[in-house]
Amino acid sequence: MRPLRRYHITTFGCQMNQADSEGMAGALEAMGLDRTDDPDQADLILYNTCSIRDHAEQKVYSYLGRQAQRKHREPHLTLVVAGCVAQQEGERLLRRVPELDLVMGPQHAHRLPDLLEQVFSGSQVVATEPVQILEDITKPRRRSAVVAWVNVIYGCNESCTYCVVPQVRGREQSRTPEAIRSEVISLAAAGYREVTLLGQNIDAYGRDLPGITPTGRHQYTFTDLLYFLHDVPGLERIRFATSHPRYFTRRLVQACAELPKVCEHFHIPFQSGDNDILKAMARGYTHQRYRQIIAMIREYMPDAAISGDAIVGFPGETEAQFQHTLELVTDLGFDQLNTAAYSPRPGTPAAVMDDQVEEAIKQDRLQRLNQLVSQTAAARSRRYLGRHEQVLVEEQNPKYPEQVLGRTRGNRLTFFPGVIGQLQGKLVTVRIDQANAFSLSGSLVAAVA
């Protein structure tokens, strides 16, 4: 039997990947292991990986190489690779790093204890076959005591030509409304005040569920889910990500405007401001449609915060097409934008298109876009100056312990002087005195709840 005292998890990916890590950490703690932040102190190391871009993937190999060396000196060490690189590479990972004990795709995150049992009985295990994701009974170990992620739909049925997610996360699987509601009820009972509902394409929620209303005809949607969760006692705020422009509806916007707990923040990636590039990406909308969506949101909620994702240097992108992306950003004024240079991914149609853009051009466009984004974000931040904003206090500022931090309803990180012991989990009013591009600071006006 291997000694198993401490585990270490490094998470490389998106919010869903982080939520999976919290679930797996909970399962390891239920097995009696303690957490350590230092991988060299751990008997079990789990890398929860991301393959969205080549850079994320390469980082895993360099971390893994070091621990594989260590295993030669300390053979009791258990090495696990989970997540999207595990799914993408499967058996190939074992050949590349024979020291590995377990390679497990994201659909298997809930099965960690079973898979480890097989490892401890002496096998090297690869778990990447598609499975139905079952409700998890172990309690996740969550990073925060105030805000929590809740998966509502796994997988993605889209086929954006640049993206590995459908390959590595599988087909869409919605959790039932009842399972989600009971998770949210127990979170609120445990003191959580805010949940972020997660899905790669959250607007797809429900379309794989049987028609479950009394008439049996109505297809359950994400909007229905918001109404269903809204009255959970103790819960103060609901957020959600990610919205896909193709499926975005007026009904959803109306629900957000109508339901006081749903925060006025929309994360809607547009990827490119050029219609031909959008078509080559197979995104299923035009830049005009995207602009209409933002206008519709602002019609109902003039102050709503808008964020998104964009890719520069998709195959064939010309300077003029890139300018269309800059125009969209200038016209719409994003509160925040995640930007990336296009990275060719194995098994995706865009990776084999002939007109790949040179790396130097991609980097140049990325820099120019980022510069524009910090200007528009700073301009959006300035609208908060002098205002009284509702902030949910999450934790102490790790840099300045005399400050606490939280978020506005629009998702702006906000710092102000305060004592965490008195304020954690409280909704407070903060007067905004200083506005940076991506954060605010101010002073406490009143504790709300």
Q: By CB under 6 A, tell whether 13 contacts ligand SF4.
A: no
Residue 176 CA to its chain's centroid (Å): 20
Decide whether 172 or 389 has the Cβ nearer to ligand SF4: 172
Stretch of 116-124, 142-150, 161-169, 357-365 lying at the interface with ligand SAH (CB under 6 A): 161-169
Q: Determine the residue type at 107.
A: Q
Window 397-426: residues binding ligand SF4 (CB under 6 A): none
Q: By CB under 6 A, tell whether 81 contacts ligand F3S.
A: no
Q: Which of 119, 153, 168, 197 binds ligand F3S (CB under 6 A)?
A: 168
Judged by beta carbon distances under 5 to 8 A according to partner kind, the member of ligand SAH, ligand F3S, ligand SF4, none in contact with residue 166 is ligand SF4
Q: Determine the residue type at 257.
A: A
Q: Which of 13, 199, 273, 442 binds ligand F3S (CB under 6 A)?
A: 13
Q: By CB under 6 A, tell whether 49 contacts ligand SF4.
A: no
Q: In what order do the strands lie in the sheet with 336-341?
A: 265-267, 305-312, 336-341
**Which whole-number Å values give the CA distances from 112 to 41, 80, 108, 117, 125, in the listed order?**
21, 10, 7, 9, 11
How far apart are CB 252 and ligand SAH at their closest, in Å?
Answer: 16
Q: Supply 33's token pair.
A: 């292991």
Cα(26)–Cα(267) distance, integer angstroms: 28
Window 219-258: residues binding ligand SF4 (CB under 6 A): 244
Task: Let me know if 215 is exposed, middle or buried by CB neighbors in 10 A (0-12, 13-18, 19+).
Answer: exposed
Window 72-131: residues binding ligand SAH (CB under 6 A): none
DSSP class per residue in 43-78: SEEEEEE--SSHHHHHHHHHHHHHHHHHHHH-TT-E
Q: By CB under 6 A, tell whether 153 contacts ligand F3S.
A: no
Task: Say whether the peptide bond before residue 242 is cis (omega within 30 degrees of 0).
Answer: yes
Judged by beta carbon distances under 5 to 8 A according to partner kind, the member of ligand F3S, ligand SAH, ligand SF4, none in contact with residue 311 is ligand SAH
Judged by beta carbon distances under 5 to 8 A according to partner kind, the member of ligand F3S, ligand SF4, ligand SAH, none in contact with residue 155 is none
Window 34-53: residues binding ligand F3S (CB under 6 A): 50-52
45 by DSSP, 3-state: which?
strand
Q: By CB under 6 A, tell whether 201 contacts ligand SAH.
A: yes
Cα(25)–Cα(142) distance, integer angstroms: 8
**Dihedral angle, C-alpha 206, 265, 410, 397, nearest 10 °:** 50
Widest distance between CA atoms in the chain:
64
Q: Which of 155, 166, 177, 269 binds ligand SAH (CB under 6 A)?
A: 269
Cα(34)–Cα(223) distance, integer angstroms: 39
How far apart are CB 50 and ligand F3S at their closest, in Å?
Answer: 3
Task: Let me know if 45 is exposed, middle or buried by CB neighbors in 10 A (0-12, 13-18, 19+).
Answer: buried
Residues that bind ligand SAH (CB under 6 A): 52-53, 162-163, 165, 200-201, 242, 244, 269, 271, 309, 311, 340, 342-343, 345
Residues at the site binding ligand SF4, with contacts judged by CB under 6 A: 156, 158, 160, 163, 165-166, 200-201, 244
**Interface positions with ligand F3S (CB under 6 A):** 13-14, 16-17, 50-52, 83-84, 164-165, 168-169
